């Protein structure tokens, strides 16, 4: 074992000497720095699923999940291995196109959920090394090309595996694959073995991007072990948060002590306010599918893709933009066209993306902002999504002196600056059709006078509500009124939260040295009567639960889908009977509320779910998604309230939980004492 470990270290060190891109990285330095500066990378989803190109038995809506979503028997899917012939694959062409687009790193699927490897693994024949007619090691060609073109190297590797005989759980439709004799611990050793191959046979690897961690056989402890293996083999490597189970839904990443991974991975979305305090990367397709689908015409425009990149960067994240190569190895022409057009925009405006920091403004009416520190202060980049009718960009609340303004690619443009107010006039012609960028050079780091923020658990309440008024800076004074008058230095200077027990309109404004530097913000908080309880004749503890079989994408109409069985559940649980795929559940009964008040509810689900109280939809969490949590509020009187919890599961993980508590208080998961039927 000692000899094996020593050999691994020597191989990694030897490979590091051959890679000028990663040579500067050493353990102990900030591993994340290059990644934070990159801001833009290429995702590549490629595998056997590119051969059917999204079509099976006359249906054309499939992608990289085709084996599962089209329920293809294993023997039929395995036949694609002997059709693997990407004769037009050119790794250098891929890498050059990524560089042309302004990307700084790439992430290739070394193995997707179907288990097929794009590298020649000594641990399996289910890879390109045993394919025909081509046996070329795709990963080797990709890595070498990335290094020649100066791209950082990333691997995507699926934890889930629909091919390996020891992987569990099986899909519910897999009648041709028995789970008898399957040993998941043996599969974990196989997974670790392939990761070790990837991190010892291909030189330094900059990113390892895991996926498929949501099934119930995987857990956070296994994720920590896999993360530790990656860092042991290559201490400078960056690993995403899907290695474990610490992400909070598709768009989040837990920052708790049990979290594992270096960055969060929002998928197909840009978090509204970014993920403050967390490194994160939005991964997104150019059309509807990750893997190649020849019938997919839903291509995003170049303008939309450029503005998505800007939006992500303005919120402090990276964009990993996907390409799904065709079975012959070429990129689809629509993808090539968009990457080239993005590159043309980046030629002029790339400085506003690479190495940029998140916007100092809460919002800009015309677009987004990124910025860089400079020798003399800072350079703000104003990304103009919507050109005002009078072509004047109005910047309010910036406390720094301005010494220069230019339109990138065109040169200096006119502006006027007064205290906290800057007006920039755009030229009438020559603006970039995707997004013009104005560079604003200021003295010092950006100091933006943001309006006050009113914070309360809800805008409606039953008994009492606490409202806090917060400032963006300790240098500012906040003045508040609750009588409808204009906030001024003669108003109340707020230091403690307000305690409201009647309907009240709160108005607040920020001042600096006695001068107003923000707009007035206001919010009306309304005291309301709670929903009255119901009075059923007699009740007992628990809920009734009915099971409904079906292949659902959304919650069904339960009146039209017969129940295969009905039972009494002590509480909302998927354990008894155990959850399965292609099923829906309907829990019905009453919720016992201890006292009149406003209550908050959370609904955690995978896949879709809804919470109804007194015939009203309180939390809508319908649709296909991984485990995520949504919230809702309801004013409830003391007593029993009719309740329905609706849930369905298509495939993959299965989760359902409901928690509640008084608004602003601690939430607890529903227990048997809360439920009646």
For 349-379, what is the HEC assignment? HHHHCCCCECCCCCCECCEEEEEEECCCEEE
Residue 313 has φ and ψ, to the nearest 5°, of: -60, -35
Report the C-alpha gap between 498 and 502 in whole angstroms: 12
Q: Does domain 367-443 have CATH number 2.60.40.1180?
A: yes
Which among 104-118, 453-467, 473-487 has the top mean pLDDT? 104-118
How confident is the model at residue 248, as a pLDDT?
63
Q: Which residue is it, tokens 């305090």?
A: 277
> In whole numbers, what is the pLDDT of the chain averaged over residues?
91
* Domain coordinates in residue numbering, the chain: 2-352, 367-443, 453-527, 543-676
Three-class DSSP category at 584: strand
Span 402-428, average pLDDT: 93
Cα angle value 437/442/447 (rounded, 5°): 100
CA 635, 640, 642, 647: dihedral to nearest 10 degrees?
80
Pick from 29-33, 369-373, 541-545, 667-671: least confident: 29-33
Average pLDDT over residues 139-156: 98
CA angle (260 as vertex; 574, 320 as ends), nearest 5: 95
Residue 469, judged by CB atoms within 10 A of its CB (0-12, 13-18, 19+), counts as: buried
Predicted confidence (pLDDT) at residue 11 exceeds the cutoff of 50: no
Report in angstroms the alpha-carbon separations of 350 from 102, 301, 375, 381, 437.
Answer: 7, 19, 19, 11, 10
pLDDT on residue 250: 58
Residue 253 has a pLDDT of 66
Quickly state the pLDDT bin for 99 (edges 50, 70, 90).
Answer: very high
Task: Give residue 573's pLDDT.
Answer: 87
Compute the residue count for the chain.
677
Percentage of the chain exceeding pLDDT 70:
94
For 338, residues 6+ apart whose C-beta sits below 8 A from its C-beta are: 286, 299, 300, 302, 305
CB 624 within 8 A of CB 553: yes
Average pLDDT over residues 308-330: 98
| Mean pLDDT to the nearest integer, 122-142 | 96
> Please, which pLDDT band fits residue 1 given cuts at 50, 70 and 90?
very low
Secondary structure (3-state) at 612 = strand
How far is it, in rounded angstroms, from Cα 127 to Cα 674? 53
Q: Is 401 helix (H, G, I), strand (E, B) or coil?
A: coil
Q: Given a cut of 60, is residue 27 above it in pLDDT?
A: no
Q: Which residues contact 99 (CB under 8 A, 6 or more apart)?
A: 149, 150, 151
Displacement of CA 378 from its chain's centroid (Å): 30
CATH architecture for residues 2-352: Alpha-Beta Barrel (3.20)
Residue 20, pLDDT score: 35
Give 101's pLDDT tier (boundaries 50, 70, 90).
very high
Q: According to the model, what pLDDT value does residue 535 have?
A: 87
Q: How far is CA 590 from CA 489, 587, 601, 646, in A?
A: 52, 10, 15, 14
Query: Residue 402 pLDDT > 50, yes or no?
Result: yes
Checking if the pLDDT of 281 tops 90, the result is yes
User: What's the rounded Cα separation, in Å, for the pair 249 and 274?
Assistant: 14
pLDDT, residue 576, reads: 79
Reported as a pLDDT band with limits 50, 70 and 90, residue 8 is very low
Task: Tell me the average pLDDT across 654-663.
Answer: 93
Render 241-253 in DSSP notation, one character per residue. Answer: GGGTT---STT--
Burial degree of 216 (CB within 10 A; 0-12, 13-18, 19+): middle
582-605: buried (b, 16+ CB within 10 Å) or exposed (e) per residue? ebbbbbbbbbbbeebbbbbbbbbb
The order of strands in the sheet holding 498-500 is 453-455, 465-470, 498-500
Segment 395-399 mean pLDDT: 87
Count helices and strands in the chain by DSSP H and E runs: 10, 35
The pLDDT of residue 626: 76
For domain 453-527, give the CATH number. Answer: 2.60.40
Give me the phi and psi of 284, to 5 degrees please: -150, 145
**pTM exceeds 0.85, yes or no:** no
- Quick check: do 2-352 and 367-443 share a fold? no
In Å, how far are 48, 75, 193, 265, 614 from 86, measured between CA atoms?
A: 10, 22, 27, 30, 59
Is 132 in contact with 82 (CB distance < 8 Å)?
A: yes
Structure letter (DSSP) for residue 171: P
Distance CA 587, CA 580 (A): 16
- Region 648-675: what's the mean pLDDT? 90
**Which of 5-19, 149-163, 210-224 has the largest mean confidence?**
149-163
Report the pLDDT averaged over residues 408-412. 96
Dihedral angle of Cα 103, 107, 109, 111, to the nearest 10 degrees? 170
The confidence score (pLDDT) of residue 40 equals 98
Tell which wins on pLDDT, 4 or 395. Answer: 395
Range 291-319 average pLDDT: 98
Q: What is the pLDDT of residue 21?
A: 39
What is the distance in angstroms between the CA of the first residue and the CA of the last residue of the chain? 60
pLDDT top residue among 630 and 1: 630
Locate 23 and state its tokens. Answer: 């040579």
Beta bridge partners of 437: 383
Residue 537 confidence (pLDDT): 80
Report the alpha-carbon distance of residue 583 to residue 595 in Å, rounded.
36
Structure tokens at 28: 């102990």
- In this structure, the strands spanning 460-461 and 521-527 are parallel
Confidence band (pLDDT; 50, 70, 90) for 16? very low
Q: What is the pLDDT of residue 251?
A: 57
Q: Which of 226-230, 501-505, 648-652 has the lowest mean pLDDT?
A: 648-652
Q: What is the pLDDT of residues 162-204, one digit of tens each?
A: 999 999 999 888 989 999 999 999 999 999 999 999 999 999 9
Cβ-contact 647, 608 below 8 angstroms: yes
Fold of 543-676: Jelly Rolls (2.60.120)
Q: What is the rounded CA–CA span in Å between residue 213 and residue 188?
A: 12
């Amino acid at each position: 074992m000692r000899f094996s470990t020593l050999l691994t270290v020597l191989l990694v060190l030897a490979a590091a000497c051959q890679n000028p891109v990663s040579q500067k990285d050493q353990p102990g330095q900030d591993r994340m720095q290059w990644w934070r500066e990159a801001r833009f990378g290429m995702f590549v989803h490629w595998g056997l699923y590119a051969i059917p190109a999204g079509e099976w038995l006359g249906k054309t809506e499939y992608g990289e999940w085709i084996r599962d979503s089209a329920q293809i028997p294993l023997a039929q899917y395995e036949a694609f291995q002997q059709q693997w012939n990407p004769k037009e694959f050119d790794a250098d062409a891929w890498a050059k196109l990524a560089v042309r687009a302004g990307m700084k790193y790439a992430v290739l699927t070394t193995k997707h959920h179907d288990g097929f490897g794009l590298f020649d693994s000594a641990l399996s024949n289910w890879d390109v090394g045993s394919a025909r007619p081509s046996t070329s090691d795709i990963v080797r060609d990709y890595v070498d090309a990335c290094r020649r073109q100066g791209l950082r190297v990333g691997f995507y590797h699926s934890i889930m595996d629909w091919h390996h005989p020891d992987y569990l759980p099986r899909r519910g439709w897999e009648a041709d694959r028995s789970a008898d004799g399957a040993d998941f611990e043996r599969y974990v050793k196989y997974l670790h073995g392939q990761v070790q191959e990837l991190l010892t046979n291909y030189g330094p690897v900059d990113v390892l991007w895991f996926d498929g961690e949501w099934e119930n056989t995987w857990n956070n402890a296994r994720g920590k072990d896999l993360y530790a293996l990656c860092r042991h083999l290559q201490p400078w490597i960056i690993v995403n948060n899907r290695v474990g189970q610490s992400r909070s839904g598709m768009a989040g990443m837990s920052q708790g002590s049990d979290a594992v991974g270096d960055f969060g991975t929002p998928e197909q979305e840009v978090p509204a306010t970014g993920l403050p305090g967390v490194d994160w990367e939005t991964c997104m397709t150019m059309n509807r599918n990750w893997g190649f689908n020849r019938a997919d015409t839903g291509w995003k425009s170049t303008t939309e893709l450029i503005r998505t990149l800007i939006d992500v960067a303005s919120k402090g994240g990276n964009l990993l933009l996907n390409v799904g190569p065709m079975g012959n190895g070429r990129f689809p022409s629509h993808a090539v066209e968009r990457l080239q057009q993005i590159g043309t925009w980046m030629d002029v405006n790339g400085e506003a993306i690479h190495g940029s920091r998140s916007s100092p403004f809460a919002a800009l009416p015309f677009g987004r902002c990124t910025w860089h520190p400079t020798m003399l202060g800072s350079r703000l980049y104003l990304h103009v999504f919507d050109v005002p009718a009078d072509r004047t960009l109005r910047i309010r609340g910036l406390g720094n002196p301005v010494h220069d303004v230019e339109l990138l690619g065109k040169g200096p443009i006119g502006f006027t600056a007064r205290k906290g107010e800057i007006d920039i006039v755009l030229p009438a012609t020559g603006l970039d059709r995707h997004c013009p960028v104005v560079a604003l050079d200021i003295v010092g780091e950006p100091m933006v006078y943001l309006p006050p923020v009113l914070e309360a658990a809800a805008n409606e309440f039953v008994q009492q509500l606490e409202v806090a008024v917060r400032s963006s800076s300790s240098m500012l004074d906040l003045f508040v009124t609750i009588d409808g008058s204009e906030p001024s230095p003669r108003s109340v200077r707020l230091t403690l939260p307000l305690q409201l027990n009647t309907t009240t309109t709160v108005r607040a404004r920020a001042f600096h040295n006695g001068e107003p530097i923000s707009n007035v913000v206001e919010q009306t908080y309304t005291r309301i009567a709670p929903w009255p309880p119901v009075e059923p004749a007699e009740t007992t503890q628990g809920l009734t639960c009915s099971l409904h079989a079906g292949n659902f994408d959304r919650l069904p109409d339960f009146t039209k889908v017969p129940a295969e069985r009905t039972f009494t559940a002590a509480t909302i649980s998927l354990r008894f009977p155990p959850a399965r795929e292609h099923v829906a559940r309907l829990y019905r009964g009453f919720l016992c509320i201890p006292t009149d008040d406003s209550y908050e509810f959370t609904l955690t689900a995978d896949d879709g779910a809804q919470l109804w109280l007194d015939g009203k939809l309180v939390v809508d969490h319908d649709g296909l998604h991984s485990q995520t949590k949504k919230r809702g509020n309801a004013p409830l009187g003391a007593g029993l309230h009719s309740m329905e919890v609706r849930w369905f599961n298509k495939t993959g993980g299965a989760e359902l939980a409901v928690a509640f508590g008084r608004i602003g208080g601690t939430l607890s998961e529903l227990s048997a004492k809360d439920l009646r039927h």
